[in-house]
């Protein structure tokens, strides 16, 4: 998101925002969007909340508007969905994830308890 801090907070080459602050018209647009929508610091919190409950329509529109000038928040939202998708698949990939296994003693205890049922 561009602001009057643009000079001290340059945009890297991988900025893919639909509207970038090049030229006075686009600068004005970005400035207007940044004034009309929450700041990125709040957007990430709101995006997380959106994963758990529905947001009011106005807020959803503000987020869409924000994304036009801020590819970072839009990426953040996509990545929240990616984490949800992969976390849900984790249980079937537990073996691949590695980590400690049952100790021989625990295995022995388990079999003993189960066979005495």
Partner 1 sequence: MKQPNAADFSPPTVASPEPPTAPKRDRAQTDPDRWVDEHGDCLFRYALVRVRRREVAEDLVQETLLAAIRSREKFAGQSSERSWLTGILKHKISDYFRKLGRETSFTDLESLADEFSEKFVPEGYWVHVKGPKEWKPESDEVVHRAEFWQTMRHCLDKLPERIANVFMLREMDEVESKEICSMLSISESNLWVMLHRARMALRECLEINWFNREK
Note the residues at the interface with partner 1 (CB under 8 A): 1, 3, 5, 8-12, 14-16, 34, 39-42, 44-45, 48-49, 51-53, 70-73, 75-76, 78-80, 82-103, 105-117
Among residues 13 and 23, whose Cβ is nearest to partner 1? Answer: 13
Least CB distance from residue 61 to partner 1, whole Å?
A: 20
Least CB distance from residue 56 to partner 1, whole Å?
A: 15
Among residues 1 and 63, whose Cβ is nearest to partner 1? Answer: 1
Distance CA 38, CA 59 (A): 9
**What are the φ and ψ backbone dihedral angles of 9, each rounded to 5 degrees?**
-135, 65
Cβ atoms 73, 18 nearer than 8 A: no
Angle between helices 40-50 and 71-89 (to 10 degrees): 30
Least CB distance from residue 35 to partner 1, whole Å?
A: 12
Among residues 53 and 57, whose Cβ is nearest to partner 1? Answer: 53
Q: What is the largest CA-CA distance in the chain?
A: 80
Indicate the DSSP class of residue 12. Answer: P
* Start-to-end Cα distance in the chain: 63
Among residues 29 and 72, whose Cβ is nearest to partner 1? Answer: 72
């Amino acid at each position: 998101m561009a602001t009057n801090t643009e000079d001290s907070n340059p945009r890297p080459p991988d900025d893919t925002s639909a509207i970038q602050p090049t030229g006075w018209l686009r600068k004005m647009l970005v400035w207007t969007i940044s004034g009309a929508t929450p700041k990125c610091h709040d957007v990430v919190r709101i995006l997380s909340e959106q994963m758990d409950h529905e947001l009011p329509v106005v807020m959803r529109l503000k987020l869409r508007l924000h994304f036009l000038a801020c590819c970072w928040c839009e990426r953040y939202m996509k990545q929240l969905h990616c984490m949800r998708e992969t976390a849900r698949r984790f249980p079937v990939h537990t073996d691949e994830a590695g980590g400690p296994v049952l100790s021989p003693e625990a295995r022995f205890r388990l079999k003993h308890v189960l066979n005495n049922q």
